[in-house]
């Protein structure tokens, strides 16, 4: 019996061992199979990654092959359900299609890649794709939208530590500042880009920043310095080209060097440069690059005075540019097409072409192109003796130059808001990194905070009481400061603009006379001289008002009222303004009255009359009239200056004697003013204890009244007492 039990037990153990061995063998086989599948998938993914890398390398030379490789990887990723590989495939396909100038398809693939990067939370690719889309937006001249996307690209690139994309984003933001003429901020962002490129030893980025700095010097017309930077950048791109065979950077540098060689008159060198560019872009089949090459050839032939050949090249360039969305370079092509037409004798047609280029330069906010076109238009109109247009475009040229010098204040608010958001996003990245530490610290500080809360509340109550006590006083002071600040800004505006404009007129016409006096007939010389004289008289009047006002505010003008013959003062003032009135064919009359003795400060009275009569002449049409009258009333002397000019509405009347508004209207002959003269008149009249006011309606002329009291001496003595 025991023997049977032992045999049964041994049989059970044997069966268990066999079953266990069979199970382990099956398990090992399953694990081996799973391992084999994992290795196979890994190898397949690595193979696809290599395919994608190869597609990027050959995209410019063999775009069709690059598309085949990328689509093959995309198909494999869709079959295996590998979303990471699918995202990378869409991204590379977007880049490859962009190189093939299939921009719309490129953006579609980038959008698909972006959605996948968001789904799998891949911040690295998210930043890179957003950067590519922002560049495309910028090429469409959608600057605000581009800046918003650059902002997002910068945020995700900083999260992932993608220094290359961070550098590229900074360089593009810097380029936007450069195009807007804000060179100090542009240089700041270019340096940020360089620092990020250096973190990963990205040589191409270093070459790119060097190129961008050359563009700044080129914009600022420092051609020699610009040539140094472009040559340095070219040398760096040559080294890179010898490694990867990509000549895009080389073409970029030769473009700028060709422009400078044309400027220097080195036409043979410029021809070599442009032929090199054309060869590079022809090999890569870049429509943009080929168009650029023909536009450069057109400019070169124009400078060589081969106008028909220049037109042929420029029309080729324009035909290609019309097939793409970007406006870049079109303004320059239209400008030179117009210049060619003018040289061939078709002046009106040529001007129309140049103005087409101007419209594009304005819509793309290209300050450099605006400067060039305004300068050319002024030159063209000078050659056809259209002096009004010469002055107009010279002034527009000065406005753009002023913008470049003081550009920081003139950037659009919406663009500045985007730049602010970029800085805000950078701060958010740093805050996310420290968030964990901050939370721990807050827990530790919570107990101490509860202890201090009572003290803080007490301090808040004390501060509230202090604020309440000083509130009315601070409010009053703040109001005074606002008025003073507005006054200061107004004076700076007068000095910077209202004084500058007449000097530009004087310099412009005097330069024309000095260079061409022998060629002009007497009538034109007299006309120019009259313009110079009028501008000089207006400038002197403005300076007198400015100096008198400044002296009056600082107490440097002494108030010395004496008995005066009013008739004599009025006649003298009218005589001084006689040339200005005659220039506009305006009659200035004084209604003779009985001899009136007035007690006043002579200089102040003359200044008041000079400003009010000048103002009347300014706003009176040719062949109009200005009438001065004085009446002795019971307690005062009332002086009036009437005109039959353009008049004014109630809103204008309410602002006439306020310096803070600084709103002026052009005269009937486009005379400019500062608004300071009437402010000075009011202060001088009030100083005498009088009043000043105006009655007027639109298109019905205006009458200015001011009074001086008869008992001025008594008032002065009373005030002193």
> What is the radius of gyration, based on Cα positions, of the chain?
39
8 Å CB contact between 544 and 607:
yes
**Secondary structure of residue 411 in the 3-state scheme:** coil
**Kind plus residue range of the DSSP H or E element containing 600:** strand 597-601
- Residues 187 and 213: their CA atoms lie apart, in Å, by 7
CA quadruple 226, 228, 231, 236: dihedral sign: negative
Taking a C-beta distance cutoff of 8 angstroms, is the pair 331, 320 a contact?
no
Cα 182–chain centre separation: 7
Segment 134-144 mean pLDDT:
83
Task: Write down the residue that tokens 């827990």 correspond to.
Answer: 443
Chain segment 659-691, per-residue pLDDT in tens: 655 556 777 777 766 667 788 888 889 988 999
For 346, list phi and psi in degrees, rounded to 5.
-95, 75
**Which tokens sit at 548?**
């008198």
CA triplet 79, 80, 85: central angle to 5 degrees? 100
* CB of 706 closer than 8 Å to CB of 690: yes
pLDDT for 411: 45
Give residue 674's pLDDT: 64
The answer to whether residues 331 and 360 touch, using CB atoms and an 8 Å cutoff, is yes
Q: In the chain, what are the domain boundaries?
A: 558-720
Quote the CA–CA distance of 558 and 682 in Å, as a whole number: 17
The Cα angle at residue 208 between residues 262 and 190, in degrees rounded to 5: 105
Task: Give yes or no for residue 410 having a pLDDT over 50.
Answer: no
The CATH topology of domain 558-720 is Heat Shock Protein 90 (3.30.565)
Helix (H, G, I), strand (E, B) or coil at 35: helix
Are the CB atoms for 274 and 300 separated by under 8 Å?
A: yes
**The pLDDT of residue 207 is above 50:** yes
Position 129 scores a pLDDT of 92
More confident residue, 144 or 553: 144
Q: Residue 83 and residue 115: Cα distance in Å, rounded?
A: 11
pLDDT tens digits for range 258-317:
989 998 999 999 999 999 999 998 888 888 888 889 999 998 999 999 999 999 998 988
Q: What pLDDT, on a 0 to 100 scale, did the predictor assign at position 364? A: 74
**pLDDT of 467:** 81
Cβ contacts of residue 148 below 8 Å, gap of 6+? 418, 421
The answer to whether residues 75 and 94 touch, using CB atoms and an 8 Å cutoff, is no
Q: Which two tokens stand for residue 474?
A: 């601070």
Beta strands in 173-286 (DSSP E): none
Q: What is the number of helices (H) and of strands (E) in the chain?
A: 27, 7
Q: ∠ at Cα 25 (19, 31), nearest 5°?
A: 135
The pair of three-digit structure tokens given for residue 301, joined into one six-digit string: 């032939």
What end-to-end distance do the CA atoms of the chain give, in Å?
146
Tokens of 253: 């540098």
**Which H or E element spans position 654?**
helix 650-655
Eight-class DSSP state of 407: G
CA distances from 62 to 242, 244, 248, 576 (A): 18, 14, 15, 81
CB within 8 Å of 420: residues ≥ 6 apart: none
Q: What's the rounded Cα separation, in Å, for the pair 243 and 237? A: 10
Give the helix ranges, DSSP H, for 554-623.
566-576, 578-583, 602-618
Q: What is the 3-state secondary structure (H, E, C) of 514-548?
A: HHHCCCCCHHHHHHHHHHHHHHHHHHHHHHHHHHH
Q: Are 214 and 177 in contact (CB under 8 A)?
A: no
Beta bridge partners of 694: 704
pLDDT digits (tens, 9 = 90+) for 79-108: 888 888 889 999 998 888 888 878 888 889
Question: Which residues lie closer than 8 Å to 231 by C-beta, 6 or more apart?
Answer: 253, 257
CA distance linking residue 236 with residue 243, whole number of Å: 11
Check whether 399 has a pLDDT greater than 90: no
513-547: b (≥16 Cβ within 10 Å) or e: eeeeeeeeeeebeeebeebbebbebbbebbeebbe
Structure confidence at residue 209 as a pLDDT band (50, 70, 90): very high
In whole angstroms, what is the distance from residue 673 CA to residue 684 CA?
19
Residue 599 has a CB neighbour count (10 Å cut-off) of 18
- Report the alpha-carbon distance of residue 255 to residue 215 in Å, rounded: 11
| Residues pairing with 564 in the sheet | 598
The secondary element (H helix, E strand) that includes residue 626 is strand 625-632
Is residue 27 over pLDDT 70?
Answer: no
Q: What are phi and psi of 543, to 5 degrees?
A: -60, -45
CA–CA gap between residue 558 and residue 556 (Å, rounded): 6
pLDDT in tens, 636-660: 899 999 999 999 888 888 888 876 5
Whether 334 shows a pLDDT value over 70: the answer reads yes
Residue 113 to residue 99: CA distance in whole angstroms = 17
Quick check: 695 and 702 in contact, CB under 8 A?
Answer: yes
Q: In which residue are the tokens 């910028």 written?
A: 138
Higher pLDDT, 486 or 685: 685
Give the per-residue pLDDT at 501: 54
Asked whether the whole model's pTM tops 0.75, one would answer: no
């Amino acid at each position: 019996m025991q023997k049977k039990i032992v045999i049964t037990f041994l049989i059970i153990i044997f069966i268990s061992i066999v079953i266990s061995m069979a199970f382990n063998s099956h398990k090992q086989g399953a694990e081996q199979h799973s391992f084999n599948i994992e290795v196979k998938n890994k190898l397949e993914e690595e193979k696809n990654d290599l395919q994608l890398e190869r597609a990027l390398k050959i995209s410019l030379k063999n775009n069709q092959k690059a598309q085949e490789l990328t689509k093959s990887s995309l198909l494999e990723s869709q079959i295996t359900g590998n979303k990471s590989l699918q995202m990378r495939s869409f991204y590379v396909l977007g880049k490859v299609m962009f190189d093939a100038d299939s921009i719309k398809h490129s953006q579609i693939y980038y959008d698909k890649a972006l959605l996948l990067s968001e789904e799998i939370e891949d911040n690295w690719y998210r930043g890179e794709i957003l950067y590519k889309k922002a560049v495309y937006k910028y090429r469409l001249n959608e600057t605000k939208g581009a800046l918003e996307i650059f902002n997002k690209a910068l945020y995700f690139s900083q999260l992932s530590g993608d220094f290359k994309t961070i550098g590229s984003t900074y360089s593009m933001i810097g380029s936007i500042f450069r195009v807007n003429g804000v060179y100090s901020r542009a240089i700041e962002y270019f340096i940020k880009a360089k620092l990020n490129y250096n973190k990963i030893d990205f040589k191409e980025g270093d070459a790119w920043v060097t190129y961008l700095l050359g563009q700044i010097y080129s914009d600022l017309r420092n051609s020699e310095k610009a040539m140094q930077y472009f040559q340095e950048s070219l040398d760096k791109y040559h080294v890179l080209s010898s490694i990867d065979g990509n000549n895009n950077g080389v073409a970029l540098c030769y473009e700028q060097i060709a422009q400078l060689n044309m400027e220097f008159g080195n036409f043979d060198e410029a021809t070599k440069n442009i032929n090199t560019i054309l060869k590079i872009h022809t090999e890569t089949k870049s429509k943009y690059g080929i168009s650029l090459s023909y536009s450069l050839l057109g400019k070169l032939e124009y400078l060589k005075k081969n106008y028909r050949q220049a037109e042929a090249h420029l029309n080729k360039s324009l035909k290609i540019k019309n097939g793409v969305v970007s406006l870049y370079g079109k303004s320059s092509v239209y400008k030179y097409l117009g210049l060619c037409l003018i040289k061939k004798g078709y002046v009106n047609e040529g001007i129309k072409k140049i103005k087409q280029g101007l419209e594009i330069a304005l819509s793309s906010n290209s300050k450099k192109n605006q400067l060039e076109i305004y300068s050319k238009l002024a030159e063209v109109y000078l050659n056809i003796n259209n002096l009004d247009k010469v002055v107009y475009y010279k002034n527009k040229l000065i406005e753009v130059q002023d913008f470049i010098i003081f550009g920081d204040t003139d950037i659009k608010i919406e663009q500045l808001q985007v730049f602010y958001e970029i800085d805000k996003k950078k701060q958010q990245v740093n805050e996310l990194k420290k968030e964990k530490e901050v939370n721990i610290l807050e827990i530790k500080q919570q107990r101490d905070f509860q202890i201090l809360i009572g003290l803080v509340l007490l301090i808040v109550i004390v501060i509230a009481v202090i604020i309440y006590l000083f509130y009315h006083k601070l409010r009053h002071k703040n109001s005074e400061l606002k008025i003073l600040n507005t006054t200061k800004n107004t004076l700076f505006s007068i000095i910077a603009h209202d004084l500058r404009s007449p000097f530009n007129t004087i310099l412009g016409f005097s330069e024309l006379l000095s260079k061409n006096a022998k060629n002009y007939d007497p009538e034109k010389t007299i006309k120019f001289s009259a313009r110079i004289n009028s501008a000089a008289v207006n400038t002197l009047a403005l300076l007198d008002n400015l100096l008198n006002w400044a002296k009056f505010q600082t107490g440097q003008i002494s108030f010395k009222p004496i008995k005066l013959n009013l008739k004599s003062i009025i006649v003298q003032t009218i005589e001084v303004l006689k040339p200005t009135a005659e220039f506009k064919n305006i009659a200035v009359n004084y209604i003779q009255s009985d001899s009136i003795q007035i007690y006043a400060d002579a200089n102040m009275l003359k200044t008041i009359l000079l400003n009010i009569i000048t103002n009347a002449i300014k706003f009176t049409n040719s062949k109009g009239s200005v009438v001065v009258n004085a009446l002795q009333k019971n307690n005062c002397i009332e002086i009036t200056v009437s005109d039959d000019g353009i008049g004014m509405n109630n809103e204008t009347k309410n602002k006439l004697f306020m310096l803070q508004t600084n709103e002026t209207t052009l005269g009937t002959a486009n005379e400019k003013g500062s608004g300071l003269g009437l402010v000075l008149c009011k202060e001088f009249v009030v100083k005498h204890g009088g009043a000043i006011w105006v009655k007027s309606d639109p298109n019905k002329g205006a009458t200015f009244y001011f009074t001086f009291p008869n008992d001025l001496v008594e008032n002065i003595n009373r005030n002193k007492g």
